[in-house]
Amino acid sequence: MSAGGSGTGASKYSSLWRLRAFVRPFYPQMVGMFVCAILATAASTLIPLVLEAVVNGPIHHHSTAALVPMFFLALGLGLAQAALIVGRRRVQSVAIMMVEREQRNHLYARLQKLPVEFHDHWQTGQLLSRVTSDLGTIRRFLGFGAIYFIVDGVQYLVVMALLIATYPPLGVAVLVTTLPVIVLARRFGSRYSSISRRVQDQQGDLATITEESASGMRVVKAFGRGPLMQERFGSSARTLRASSLELISLRARFWGWLTLVPNVSMALSVLIGAIAVAHGSMSLGALVAFTTLLVLLQFPIIDIGWILSMAEQAATAADRVCEIFDASVSIADRPDAVTVTRARGRLAFEGVGFTYPGSASPVLHDVNLVLEPGETVAIVGLTGSGKSTLAALPNRLYDVTAGRITLDGTDIRQITLDSLRGQIAVAFEDPVLFSMSARENLLLGRPEASDEEVRAALSLAQADFVYDLPWGLDTRIGEQGLSLSGGQRQRLALARAVIARPAVLILDDPLSALDVETEALVEEALANVLGSMTALVVVHRPSTVALADRVALLRDGTLVAVGTHHQLMELPEYAMVLSVDYDEAMQ
């Protein structure tokens, strides 16, 4: 999905304003930047006044002696301006980069907190573009746009005051010619913000396509769909290009109008000023100062163009970033949540029902099942019957929408998430390994596990192949563990779940990618481990079912039979579910 909703009207900058919390620790630096910028501008504004003094003094009186101090004064002002600009950039780069880093860390932390449900509905590219380019846009605005908005505002007011003081009639005339800029800016701002929101969303779409085709490269190549993906990418890139051009053309037109304003003022001033000098109502020095000051007025006016566009883009970026901060953390610790350190492992589903957010019909309903401590229960059912969904509920990847799940009699929603997840480990159907070393991947569940424990878990999962990798446990596993086979990844994920030494182990079809021989070895080893913990194992093959003390048959989201393998063998449906899947697996 392309997350929509753009800021409108008066609240347009409200998201940006909310992000000020990140700037607060750097207020001293911000003030330093601002002071440097103001002083640099003041130095540049004083230079025309020195010029006026030169023309009206030494030049007018043909005395070269007085020129020397004037020269040094102008030179000093120029040097001071340069030094102040360097100073501002120094302070600015450090402070603003820190602000950006803080924002990025908080955003990432938020992404970690958000429930799986959030990630089900957001494209990776949209998240990527928010964490990277949107935060960059906000940084550029804070570092330049915001500072120059104030500095240019002050410069405009000071120069305007000096112009009016130098020659009031002409000063007022210049003031009037600059007023249309306000109207222009307002019209530009609202159009610019809607287009820039579109551009930023489209950048996210493009990032999504890039990310998907990189991670799905094998599928794309295997089906020879390169050209199709190219076309999808090309069409998305074309859309982005069209919107970006629209943005550029709007900015160009705005800038065109903006540059016209000071030029009109300049032409007017030279004409009226020359007449005034001829009539003796204005000194030549004053005219020189007036026109030089007018050049200084150009900057604030033309700057409004990029400051406004930066501000609009930053406001849009802030809206997009705040969408993540605002997404509700629906699964979080309750204030009265308890910490569970050593659960016995009695897991009970009591009238559990579950409906995916936004979905009309429930995937699970009226599920009643009690796993006694140390017991292993296998879940079988046709594909799509809700097995993986059931396996995702006990450690609260999703919260039940009806009934409750208890661990040792306590509703799992009353247990702190960290401690709950420390007690219940899961190995998923589709094992994800991170681009870290094999050891780091294995220790995700319990970083303090000893080498001995790692060795035991690896041997249990028949994953001793890790020791034969080029750097053994320190071998970096490629992105998503792609350099390993599917079966190797599954075995690592299984070892990872076992190392966590949970009270409850949930295995979602953990042996599907193993050959029959390895599967038999893993099963044998699993049988030993499963004795010491409660286990809920989703299985497809008759051989794995033998691991379980009891089997539960899931049909259309509810348990239709629970019993031992032998008891269930009486049911034609049970035999069919296992053999159907068995045939599928053998294909």
Ligand X SMILES: Nc1ncnc2c1ncn2[C@@H]1O[C@H](COP(=O)(O)OP(=O)(O)OP(=O)(O)O)[C@@H](O)[C@H]1O
Q: Select 100 or 581, whichever has its Cβ closest to ligand X.
A: 581
Of 487, 508, 493, the closest CA to residue 378 belongs to 508
Instruction: Give the nearest distance from C-beta 556 to ligand X in angstroms.
Output: 10
Residue from the set 135, 363, 371, 500 that interacts with ligand X by CB under 6 A: 363
Interaction between residue 359 and ligand X (CB under 6 A): yes
CA–CA separation, 410 vs 425, rounded Å? 18
Is residue 356 a contact residue for Mg ion (CB under 5 A)? no
Per CB under 6 A, 356 contacts ligand X: yes
Separation CA 576–CA 55 (nearest Å)? 103
Residues 373-402 that bind Mg ion (CB under 5 A): 388
Residue 199 or 505 with smaller CB distance to Mg ion: 505
In the complex, minimum distance from the CB of residue 397 to Mg ion, in angstroms, rounded to a whole number: 13
Nearer to ligand X, 317 or 390 (CB): 390
Alpha carbons within 13 A on the beta-carbon side of 170: 28
Per CB under 6 A, 579 contacts ligand X = no
# chain residues binding ligand X, by CB under 6 A: 13
Phi first, then psi: what are they for 199, rounded to 5°? -60, -45
Whose Cβ is closer to ligand X: residue 142's or residue 363's?
363
Window 32 to 61, contacts with ligand X (CB under 6 A) = none
Q: How many CB atoms lie within 10 A of CB 582?
A: 13
Using CB atoms within 10 Å of the CB of residue 31, give its burial: 0 to 12 exposed, 13 to 18 middle, 19+ buried.
exposed
Residue type for position 517: E
Size of the site for Mg ion (CB under 5 A): 1
Burial bucket for residue 336 (CB in 10 Å: 0-12, 13-18, 19+)? exposed
What span, in angstroms and rounded, lies between the C-alpha atoms of 217 and 220?
Answer: 5
Asked whether 97 and 25 are in contact (CB, 8 A), the reply is no
Answer yes or no whether residue 490 interacts with ligand X by CB under 6 A: no
Pick 243 or 389: Cβ nearer ligand X: 389
Among 11, 339, 383, 459, binds ligand X (CB under 6 A): 383
Q: What are residue 380's DSSP bridge partners?
A: 553
Is 535 in contact with 505 (CB distance < 8 Å)? yes
Q: Does 386 bind ligand X (CB under 6 A)?
A: yes
Sheet (strand 376-381) strand order:
424-427, 504-508, 534-538, 376-381, 550-555, 558-563
8 A C-beta contact, residue 313 and residue 196: yes
Query: Please, which of residues 518-547 interact with Mg ion by CB under 5 A?
Result: none
- Kindly report the CA angle at 341 between 335 and 347, in degrees rounded to 5? 85
Q: Which is nearer to Mg ion, 291 or 388 (CB)?
A: 388
Over the window 118 to 157, marking each residue x when it contacts ligand X by CB under 6 A and - when it does not, the resulting string is: --x-------------------------------------
Per the DSSP assignment, residues forming a β-bridge with 561 are 553
Residue 172 vs 580, nearer CB to ligand X: 580
Taking CB within 5 to 8 Å according to partner kind, which of ligand X, Mg ion, none is near residue 359?
ligand X
Q: Does 384 bind ligand X (CB under 6 A)?
A: yes
- The residue with its CB nearest to ligand X is 388
For 363, the enclosing helix (H) or strand (E) is none
Residue with smaller CB distance to ligand X, 149 or 574: 574
Among the listed ranges 18-26, 249-257, 285-293, 376-384, the one in contact with ligand X (CB under 6 A) is 376-384
CA dihedral over 102, 104, 107, 112, signed as positive or negative:
negative
**Binding partner of residue 385 among ligand X, Mg ion, none, CB cut-off 5 to 8 Å per kind:** ligand X
The residue (of 135 and 506) whose beta carbon lies closer to ligand X is: 506
Question: Which residues would be at the binding site for Mg ion (CB under 5 A)?
Answer: 388
Question: Which residues would be at the binding site for ligand X (CB under 6 A)?
Answer: 120, 356, 359, 363, 381, 383-389, 429
